[in-house]
A and B are shown apart, each in its own frame.
Chain A
Amino acid sequence: MDPRAKLAGSFYFIAIAFLANSWPSFLFLGAVAISGVLLSKIDLRFFLKGVRPLIWLIIFTVALQMLFTRGGTIYWSWGIFSLSQYGVQNGLFIFCRFMLIIFTSTLVTLTTPPLSMSDAIESLLNPLKKIHVPVHEIALMLSIALRFVPTLMDETEKIMNAQRARGVDFGAGSIIQKIKAIVPLLIPLFVSSFNRAEELATAMEARGYRGGEGRTKYRRLKWGRNDSILVVIFAIVTVGLLFLRKT
């Protein structure tokens, strides 16, 4: 699928997730998200892993909503805390919203190669050229940054091993000791990043790169039938959602 459609679609989906405000509407959006997940044929465990780092944020917000919203039948109260009908409902809604957002964003990141993601960002940002946003530079930065993530990770590991062989204990001792242990890792990484940037710039210039104006593209994005179908689906979802919304 065209990464532009996926990226724009996921943003749109997240935006309309905030429009939902009743059980039928959440069920409906949930069904749409789940069918997307099922269509991708990706193991569900990956999605649950995506939830894991955010679990505390979710619990915190949900608890906050539950304990501080008043109204409706009050089930339980103690001082400023109370467990009310609206509170529970709001809490559960927020939980559903979180799940929807995490699932769709995981779906997009898992199904899109990083490079086409940065292409999609460039092409979606293109209209901003009118207000003098350096879209091309941002896109170039993004794709180079993405390209170097694995390289840097490799390098980090190598330096870490080298310093461990010299007796550094990463992740041991008190917080201050831990921070100190990172210095022998960070400084070489910074140095090599600066060197790498300089070498890369020279190499790019030597091959005739002169920046945005008149630059051609090798990777072209193609809008296919599936992408139009996605747009139609989202239009239907929007209508359905507005219909199911409680006014």
Chain B
Amino acid sequence: MFTRSFCRFSKYLQKPVNRNVCKNRKLHISTALCATHSSGRYEDKPEFPGSRSHFIHKLEFINPDDTEGIPVYRVMNRKGEIIEQSEDPQLDKDTVIKMYHDMTLLNTMDKILYESQRQGRISFYMTNFGEEGTHIGSAAALSPKDMVFGQYREAGVLMWRGFTLDQFMDQCYGNCNDHGEGKQMPVHYGSKELNFVTISSTLATQMPQASGAAYALKRKGKDRCVICYFGEGAASEGDAHAAFNFAATLECPIIFFCRNNGYAISTPTKDQYRGDGIASRGTGYGMYTMRVDGNDVFATYNATSAARDICVKECRPVLIEAMTYRLGHHSTSDDSSAYRSVDEAAYWDKQDTPIARLRYFMISKGWWDETMEKEWKKESKQMVMETFARSEARKKPNPELLFTDVYKNMPWHIAKQQQQMKQHVTNYAEHYPIDSHEKWKD
């Protein structure tokens, strides 16, 4: 207001009376701030350090309901037909078949491990039903050197990178072959060689960590980026806000990949947020943003590929929101029929899954047929069953490992407790499951 009054007066600076007005008001603002508008009116621009914009003279709230939602990018329709030929990523046959193999193998593993939990053979499981396309499409667009930070429903990314069925199942069983030494719950996978940072249960904590890792990669300058996966529910955590803001202000080469599958356990998105999903937040943080059809593996591939280019070339973060639907229950501890209709889930299962869509595409190309489908189903099921039996037969790790890796080197008090445990268990051996574990050396 003051600035504006001053500018009005400054027009008449030649006139002594107005100069006095200015003096009396003690306004020492440079006349350079007052630009002459082309219309001849005197205009000024806001000089506030906090934003770049112009003044308006009518009171007007920005109404989020005035704008249509951010559109969903799609390459092929539900029948696997490419809509815009120029958007076809033109992936070769082998790549597409690997995409299909990995999505379906993950699907088969999910079914068997889900059942094994129902039978009490593993303690917990989370399926990936309906979201296989987001995993494979994005993973295929990355370099294997790119670091992955995930939430827990991204096993397909590991599958794409070469995590073996044994590795998946050894982790779920927490047996002596598990690289995580049986310390975490099932589906908390990790792999150093595959640059997949080990999953933890705490939601969204990986997000600002991923920004930090991206900053480190940028400083190393080796053409690498980070991808960070999270669900739309996790995006409500404070850590998500920190992650976006840090990545933008510190110019981190990171792709934030949101799996918006409609639910966070039982909570539908209408209870999760009131804006236009997660994507609408991206530009608020100053990030490149797009929304993609998560059931379209090619759209996901294209979006991730383009995002990776931006990260590596411009050192800026990108937000991708992949719209999808969580076909399965949240986890084995959840019965989703308690909060959503069976019909709703059935619709997505029948009408729009990433696996079916890619299969249509492959059939149209002549790369796939019924016989191949049958054979692959049989083969993949057999592989999973064989691995499952191997993992189940393996012993659990030596109980001593309960105490390792708390620190790089074991401090005295933990070493003392380790000895106490061993002594105690030796004295009361019949009360502990020592036979299912490997023996400790003594």
Q: Do A and B actually bind?
A: no
Interface residues of B (CB under 8 A from A): none
